[in-house]
Structure 1
Amino acid sequence: MKKRYFISALLLSIGLLSCKKETTQTAPLAMPYKVIEIEKSNSTLLAEYPASLEGITDIDIRAKVDGYIEKIYVREGQEVKKGQLLFKLETQTATQEAGAAKAKVAAAQVEVSRLKPLVERNIISDVQLETAKANLASAKSTYQSILAKINYATIKSPVNGIVGTLPLRLGSYVSSQTEEPLTRISDVSTIYAYFSVNEKQQLDIMMNAEGKTFQQKINNMPAVNLILSNGMEYEQKGKIETFSGQANSQTGSFNVRASIPNATKLLRSGGSGTIQIPTYLKDVIVIPQNATLEMQDKRIALVVDKQNKVKAVPIKVRAVSGGEFFVVDSGLNTNDKILIEGVGIVTEGTAIIPELVNYASIITPAKK
């Protein structure tokens, strides 16, 4: 009997130990993850807008008279000065016409000179003299018109600028009705960047600008950045100069123009880029973008509560300069601890061992 009790007690002890061991093995262990404690700081928001680039002036060069292109004095992309020769049209026919017209002027002048003394001696009436004078004026007008035509055949640049494409070649026939221009001269000493903003964006921009009147706000707006089509930031800052007076009735957007210095002539008309408008913010919550998740059109941050458990919290954010940070408009408060490691891996309700990382060391690149 004693032996039987001993065996039963032994089996019960083994069973309890086995259950305890199994429970220990299945309980999840808390893992260490890095967290930051939210503080407020200063930052800069960058709003980006696709822009088209144009010179101060882009002038189509067209022929004023009919003729064949006899000479081309410039090449595509060449920098030219105001008054510099661009093209010369064939003037042989016009030159012959000018010779004939000049001869008619001389003949008309002779006739006037012949009739003057006859009128003075009352041999003939002054009607004949007046008719001769009218013929002389007509001959001179015709001659001057032909000379102007010859002058128009020599085409000069109306401004300082850069020569555009040259679609026509030597021998091409052109006239004032030719659809395609001979070329285009672009003054690119300053480049205009044109872009559009919607009504909400326009209000956000102007309400954050200093000044009482609309024009004062434009004058006080910060310098803007131009991101080139290759992704590089242009070395010179731009300045917003104008907003359109009213929204486009079809798109609801406002047209905006920014001017950008272009002394090196790197920027050319017809180019494209992206305008960045900065907004400087004080005492805002900034967090790394990679400390958030996007779930069902919502932005989520993982907050660590007092029991060191992870909780998913919806937040509203705006992008910060550089694309690595968010400004949090709602959802987080100072002193909240959020996960910055294991985001996307750690699930809600998981207990962790928080490893506190200095907030400033993480957010410093976003501060301005």
Structure 2
Amino acid sequence: MPLALSGCGGQAESPPPQGNPPVTVATPLVQNVVDWDEFVGRFEAIQSVEVRPRASGYLLGIHFRDGQMVKKGQLLFTVDPRPAEAAVAQAVAQAAQAQATLANARTELARSQTLAASRAASTEEVEARQAALRSGQAQVAAAQANVRARRLDLGFTRVTAPISGRISERRVDVGNSVAADQTVLTTIVSVSPLHFSFNGSEALLLKYQRQGEGTQIGTPVRIKLADEQAYSHDGTLDFIDNVIDAGAGTIRARAVVPNASGFLKPGMFGNLRLEASNPYPALLVPDTAIIADAARQVVYVVDKSGTVVARPVQTGPLLGNLRVVRSGITREDRVIINGIQRARPGQKVTPQNGKITAAPAAPAGPPTSAAAPASTARPAGN
């Protein structure tokens, strides 16, 4: 029976020889991009003031709601003004007394001068009256200055907002005694614009200075908050410190960010992207087309004979799902973008033409540290 089966051709046929594995290839996408470096920082108020009274006494009134917006010069607190009003009245009375003494000195001087003209008074008497007049004038000036000082003290019983911004809660209730220049009544912070402070590494500062990028006042920045996916808050770099922190090896910088709506609050953390280059033409390939080979990165290209060649490359920042390739390939190379798992260097493949298209930029995660920010890119003009 086995012989009959064999003669009838019942044995399995051998599979046909396999051809070259198919892969999808495409030339790199060429696009103008701008590099961005990322930093972690937080928002700070441009102005922050502790409101303290300039007059001592008992707190008589509070004229704001906790947390409201206040304008510069708005009345916030009232300190009992009665002691200051009494001091003003006393100073006014002293000034009136000095004026009366001065008027009497003028009269006495005029009388002495008349008598001296008829030789009825001596020169010494006239000089004494002149001295009394000068003394009276000085007393009037001192009394008037005292009146101004006491009226200034009276004005200090009205505590007004030194800046415009959002006020905190009151820290002292009505009826408590407050001390001039000591008791903190509340605080006010400005809300628009805000500063965004962050730290950058010394190495990054050197790179910027040598390239002439990133250290210019007015350089654009973009910021996202902890719960945001997009960098939707625009600002500009407005300050770079003049020294590097010797302990951390970082330098402090800040940006100014508009906040007309008041949504941003001092103390909020965020991620900042700093424009780190001018627009430049870049070669872009899918990030999945780049292979980590030990300590280097390579891409597989297919040459004219259909053979896979491994090309070591130097990569740059990520733009969405595409990676900038700074060196190692040309814009004419056919890079394997699909089927890379079936390709081996030196192997023949069947290339099929594909196309690399730009995808919307994916939100980048926070950098690992302020001294070593992540690097991303975006299309120029966006």
1:273 partnered with 2:270: yes
SS in 2 for 1:82: coil
For residues 286 and 94 of structure 1, do their structure 2 counterparts lie closer, same or farther at Cα, with a shift above 3 Å needed? same
In structure 1, the residue matched to 2:82 is 92
In structure 2, the residue matched to 1:61 is 51
The code of the aligned residue for 1:162 comes to: G
For residues 83 and 179 of structure 1, do their structure 2 counterparts lie closer, same or farther at Cα, with a shift above 3 Å needed? closer
In structure 2, the residue matched to 1:230 is 227
- The within-5 A match list for 1:179-194 is 180=184, 182-186=186-190, 188=192, 190-194=193-197
Match of 2:198 among 195, 199, 207: 195
For residues 137 and 179 of structure 1, do their structure 2 counterparts lie closer, same or farther at Cα, with a shift above 3 Å needed? same
What TM-score, normalized by structure 2, do the two folds share? Answer: 0.68
Distance in 2 between residues matched to 1:201 and 1:334, nearest whole Å: 29
In structure 1, the residue matched to 2:65 is 75
Q: Percent identity?
A: 20
In structure 2, the residue matched to 1:147 is 151
- The within-5 A match list for 1:295-334 is 298=295, 300-303=297-300, 305=302, 314-322=312-320, 324-334=321-331
- Give the CA deviation at 1:47: 1.3
In structure 2, the residue matched to 1:3 is none
1:174 partnered with 2:174: no
1:43 partnered with 2:40: no
8 Å CA contact 2:28, 2:356 repeated in 1: no
The code of the aligned residue for 2:59 comes to: I
C-alpha offsets along residues 159-185 of structure 1, whole Å, 9 cap, x if unaligned? 4x3123234132344334427463124
1:163 partnered with 2:166: yes
The code of the aligned residue for 1:166 comes to: E
The code of the aligned residue for 1:67 comes to: G
- Give the CA deviation at 1:151: 0.5
Count of residue pairs brought into register by the alignment: 342
C-alpha offsets along residues 46-71 of structure 1, whole Å, 9 cap, x if unaligned? 21122333444434433222233332
Q: Higher helix fraction: Structure 1 or Structure 2?
A: 1
Distance in 2 between residues matched to 1:288 and 1:176, nearest whole Å: 67
Distance in 2 between residues matched to 1:32 and 1:72, nearest whole Å: 80
In structure 1, the residue matched to 2:288 is 290
Higher mean displacement: 195-204 or 139-148: 195-204
Distance in 2 between residues matched to 1:363 and 1:234, nearest whole Å: 17
What TM-score, normalized by structure 1, do the two folds share? Answer: 0.71
In structure 1, the residue matched to 2:372 is none
- Give the CA deviation at 1:198: 3.1
Distance in 2 between residues matched to 1:55 and 1:167, nearest whole Å: 19
Gaps of 5+ in 2: 113-120, 362-377
SS in 2 for 1:170: coil
Root-mean-square deviation over aligned CA pairs: 4.4
C-alpha offsets along residues 7-31 of structure 1, whole Å, 9 cap, x if unaligned? 9xx9xxx9xx99x96xx79x99976
Distance in 2 between residues matched to 1:258 and 1:63, nearest whole Å: 33
In structure 2, the residue matched to 1:359 is 355
8 Å CA contact 1:37, 1:356 repeated in 2: no
- Give the CA deviation at 1:286: 1.4
C-alpha offsets along residues 63-97 of structure 1, whole Å, 9 cap, x if unaligned? 22223333232334433333222322222222233
The code of the aligned residue for 1:107 comes to: Q
8 Å CA contact 1:46, 1:321 repeated in 2: no
Gaps of 5+ in 1: 1-6
In structure 1, the residue matched to 2:115 is none
The code of the aligned residue for 2:260 comes to: A
